[in-house]
A and B are shown apart, each in its own frame.
Chain A
Amino acid sequence: MLAAYMFVSVLLFAIGATGAMIRRNFLIVLMSLELMINGAGMALIVMSYYIGDISGQVMFLFVAAVAASETAVGLAIVAMMYKNKKSVDINDFTALRK
C-alpha cells in the first residue's frame, strides 16, 4: 500500500516540476509549484502514518501555510506583471539577462 501512496506523491511532484519548467504562463507555473509542494506534503503525511509518528503531519500544516503565503505573493507578482506588460507569459520577462 505504501508504495502506491508514495508513487502518487512522486507523480504529483514530477508533474509539478515538469510543469514549472516547461509552461510559459506564469499562472500555470504557480499551479505547478503548488503541485510540487503538495506532492512533497503527501509524502510527509504518508510516511508519518506509516511509522506512527505525528510530527510529519504537523510538519505538513506548516508546509501548507508556507504554500499559501507563497501563492499569495506569487499572485501579487502576477498581478503586477500583468499591470506592467499586459501579459503573463514568462518569456516576456527576461530583463534579468541584461
Chain B
Amino acid sequence: MKTLILLIIIWPLIGFLINGLFGKWTKNYAGVIASSALGLSFLSAVYPMWQVILGNIYDYVYFVWMPFGEINIPFGLRLDSLSTVMLFVVTFVSWMIHIYSNGYMKGDPGYARYFTYLNLFVFSMLLLILGNNYLLMFVGWEGVGLCSYLLIGFWYDKKTASDAGEKAFVVNRIGDAGFIIGVLFILFNFNSVAYADVFPFVHQILTPETATIIGLALFLGAMGKSAQFPLYIWLTDAMEGPTPVSSLIHAATMVTAGVYMVARSNAIYDMSPIAMEVVASVGAFTAFYAATMALTHKDIKRILAYSTLSQLGYMFIGVGVGVYWAGIFHLMTHAFFKGLLFLGAGAVMHSMRGLLSIDLMGGLRKKMPQTVALMVIASLAIAGIPPFAGFFSKDAILAGALEMGHPIIWIVGEITAFMTAFYMFRFVFNVFYGEEKVPNLYHELHTHEAPKVMTIPMWILGVLSIIGGWVGLHISGEIPIEAFIARTAPTLEVASKAHYSEALLIGISVCMGLLGIFTAWVIYIKKWITADTIANTFRPIYTLLANTYYVDKFVYFFIVKPFWWVSEYFLWKIVDVKIIDAGVDLFGWISKRIGWLFRTLQTGFVNHYAYWISIGVMLLTSWYLIKII
C-alpha cells in the first residue's frame, strides 16, 4: 500500500519528465503519454481510496526530508477521508481533461509543452492534497501556482496572456506570504508541521488568540489561491490560458486548494470563532459580489470565471460556518459541473475559432447538439435544480449556514443562488437557443460539433454532474458523504443548533433556482422585457457591473501605479543608480587609482627594471644584515 500511494503521485511526474525532456521526439504522442500517466495515477488510486472508504487511514513517511535540530520534517503521504475526496476529484477530473485536451490542443506548436505543464500541475496538486504536513502542502501549493502561471501565459507571444500570468503570480504571492507565516506559527508552537503532531494537540497548545492568528494567516493564503475578495483579480484574467486549463486549474482543482486547506485545518479553525467568521463572511461576500459581475459580462469564459469565484465563495461559507463536509462536497460537485461548463465553453470556442462574445452566438443548438445538452445539464447543476449534483451540495451549505446561526449569510446565499441560475441561463439561452445573431457566421467558420475525443470526457463529467450529488441523499438516517468527510473534518459543535424545516429550505432554494431560470427565459427567449431596457433603466448599476466595480482600475491606479512610481523614482533612480551603482563604481575607481600608482613603474625600459631590482636587492640585504647584527 505504501508503494501504491507513492505511485499515485509518481505517474504524473514520470509523464512530466518524459514530455519535458523528450518533448521534441514525443511530439504527437505527448498527449497520449500524459493522459496515460493520469489514467495510471487514477487506477493506482482506486484501491487505496476503496480501503479508506472501508475505514482505513494511511499515513506513511518515506524519508526525512528536512532534518534540522530537533525538528524533522518528513516526506510523507497521508490518505484519509478528506484527501480521498480530493484525490478522486483531482485524478479523475484531471484525467478527463487531459483526454479532452488531446482534441482541443491538436496542432498547437506547444503541444508537448502543454502536456508537460499539465502533468507537472497534477503532480503538484497531488502533493498538495496527499502531503502529511503543512510544508509539503506548501510545496504543492507553490507548484500549482507555478504551473498556473506557466499555463495562463501558455501563449506567451500574446502580451495579454503573459501579463495575465504575471498578475496571477504576483497576486498569489501576497496570499502565499500569509500562508507561510501561518505555517511558521504552527512550527513555533508545535515544533512540527505534520498534521498528526498538530491537530490532536491543538487544545493543549494553542490559545484562542494564537489560533486566530494562524487561522487568519492561513486564510490569507487561501484567499490568494482560491481567489476570494480582494485577491480574486487574477482569476478572471487567467482566462487567457487555454480553455482546458481554465477548466482544470481555474475551476475544478487548483482554486479549491484553499477550501481544502481550511477544511484540513478544521481543528485550528474550530478554536477561533473570529477566524471562522472572517472565512464565512469573505466567502459570502465573494459569492454575492462575483455573481453580480457575472450578470453583465459578454465573454463566455469570463462569465464562467466570475461564476467560479461565486461558487468558491459558497465553499468558503460551508467551511467557514463549520459544516466542513458541505464545503468539500460542493467542491467535488463543482469540479464536475464547472469542469464540464468550461469544457463546453472550450468546445464552443473550438468550433467558433476562438470567438468568445455571446453577442456573436445564438442558436448553436442546431450545430452542436451534444455540447448543448451537456451545457444544459451542467447549468441545471450549478443552478441547484434537483436531482442534479449542485443542488445537494449547495443546499447542504445553505442549510448548514442557517443551522449554525448565520441567517444573513443564508439570505445572501439564496439571492446569489437566484443570480447564479439567471446568469447561467442567460449564457445558455443566448449562446445555444434563439436565432443566429450574425448571419452566415457559422457557415463561414464551419461551426461543427466537437470531435469524440472531446465529447466523451464531457459526457462522463455530465453523468457525474447528475449523479455526483446523490451521495448527499439521506440513506438510513445519515448522509453518506457527511459521515465520510466528518471522519477527518468533523462538523463544528455548537451549543444550540437552530432547527428549520428541511422541506421548506429545499423549497426556497429550488424556487430561487427556478426563478432565476424563468427570469432568464422571460428576458432572453420570450423577450417580454429586453435586456437593453433593463440596462437602460439601471444605467449606473449596469455601468458599475460592466466595469467590474472598477476594482481593476482602482488596483491599477492606487496600487500598481504607486508601486511603479516608487520603483522608478525611488528604487531605480535613487537606490539603484545613486547608491548601489555608485558603490560598485567606487570600488572600480579605487582600484583604478591604485593601479595608476603602480603602472607608472612599468616603463618598459630594461634599465629601469634592472634599477628596481638592484634597489630591491639592496633593501633585502640591508634588512638581513640589520637583523643578524
Contacts and interface: CB of A to CB of B under 8 A. Distances in A.
Interface of A: 17, 20-24, 26, 29, 90-91, 93-98
B617 to A, nearest CB: 10
A94 B605 contact: yes
Interface in B582-611: 602-607, 610-611
Nearest to A20: B610
A18 to B, nearest CB: 10
Q: Is the interface of B mostly helix, strand, loop or mixed?
A: helix
A97 B604 contact: yes
Given A21-B610, A94-B605, 4 more contacts: A26-B606, A91-B605, A93-B606, A96-B604
A95 B604 contact: yes
A22 B607 contact: yes
Nearest to B603: A97
Contacts of B614: 17, 21
B604 A94 contact: yes
A47 B611 CA distance: 28
Interface of B: 602-607, 610-611, 614
Given A17-B614, A21-B611, A90 B602 contact: no
A29 B611 CA distance: 13
Contacts of A20: 607, 610
Contacts of B603: 94, 97
B197 to A, nearest CB: 70
Nearest to B611: A21
A85 B197 CA distance: 86
A66 B218 CA distance: 82
A57 to B, nearest CB: 24
Contacts of A95: 604
A24 B606 CA distance: 9
Contacts of A24: 607
Contact of B602 (A21, A26, A93, A96): A96
Contacts of B611: 21
Contacts of B607: 20-24, 29, 90
Contacts of A21: 607, 610-611, 614
A94 B603 CA distance: 7
A91 B603 CA distance: 10
B600 to A, nearest CB: 10
Contacts of A17: 614
Nearest to B609: A96
Contacts of A97: 602-604
A20 B607 CA distance: 7
Among B603, B607, B611, B614, the most chain A Cβ lie within 10 Å of the Cβ of: B607
16 contacts: A20-B607, A20-B610, A21-B607, A21-B611, A21-B614, A22-B607, A23-B607, A24-B607, A91-B605, A93-B604, A93-B606, A96-B602, A96-B604, A97-B602, A97-B603, A97-B604
Contacts of A96: 602, 604
Contacts of B606: 26, 29, 90, 93
A93 B606 CA distance: 8
Nearest to B602: A97
Contacts of B605: 90-91, 94
A47 B603 CA distance: 39
A95 to B, nearest CB: 7
B596 to A, nearest CB: 14
A20 B603 CA distance: 16
Contacts of A94: 603-605
B601 to A, nearest CB: 10
A93 to B, nearest CB: 7
B461 to A, nearest CB: 77
A21 B605 CA distance: 10
B313 to A, nearest CB: 75
A55 B561 CA distance: 88
A93 B611 CA distance: 17
A1 to B, nearest CB: 25
